């Protein structure tokens, strides 16, 4: 019985360790509007709007660079960006920007932050 308890405890501990280590190696981090605004003050930051031109024509975050995630050349265009910068990425509600962060991570970008509520969350916070 004692061995079974020890094995269970070891399994739980290893499971927690594995889960924590996977979170720390995530290719990007989801952040709130408040965290996004705070990070915008960093001079090494690029704000990346991955919505369509039609969407950005209705408004965008000041200073954002537009790079439509739906374009077939998104990955190639992203590859041209400076990998030493920190990227704050957003779309309408957070889905496409999460996809963009994943693609960019695969291209070697290290500092990626996804606005989890997207531009709609940004507008609602104003």
For 54-92, the pLDDT digits (tens) are 999 999 999 999 999 999 999 999 999 999 999 999 999
17 vs 33, more confident: 33
* CA trace torsion 116, 44, 38, 125 (10° rounding): -50
Model pLDDT for residues 90-106, shown as the tens digit of each residue: 999 999 999 999 999 99
- State the pLDDT confidence band at 2, using cuts at 50, 70 and 90: low
Could you tell me the CA-to-CA distances from 30 to 7, 27, 80, 81 in Å, in that order?
Answer: 35, 10, 23, 21
pLDDT of 22 strictly over 80:
no
- pLDDT of 93 reads 97
- pLDDT of 1 reads 54
Q: Span 33-62, mean pLDDT?
A: 97
């Amino acid at each position: 019985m004692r061995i079974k308890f020890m094995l269970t405890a070891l399994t739980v501990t290893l499971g927690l360790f594995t889960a924590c280590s996977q979170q720390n190696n995530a290719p990007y981090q989801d952040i709130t509007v408040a965290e996004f605004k705070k990070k915008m003050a960093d001079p090494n930051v690029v704000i990346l709007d991955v919505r369509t031109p039609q969407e950005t024509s209705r408004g965008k975050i000041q200073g954002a660079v537009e790079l439509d995630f739906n374009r077939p050349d998104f990955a190639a265009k992203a590859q041209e960006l400076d990998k030493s910068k920190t990227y704050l990425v957003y779309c309408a509600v957070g889905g496409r920007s999460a996809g963009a962060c994943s693609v960019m991570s695969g291209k070697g970008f290290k500092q990626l932050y996804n606005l989890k509520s997207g531009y709609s969350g940004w507008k609602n916070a104003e």
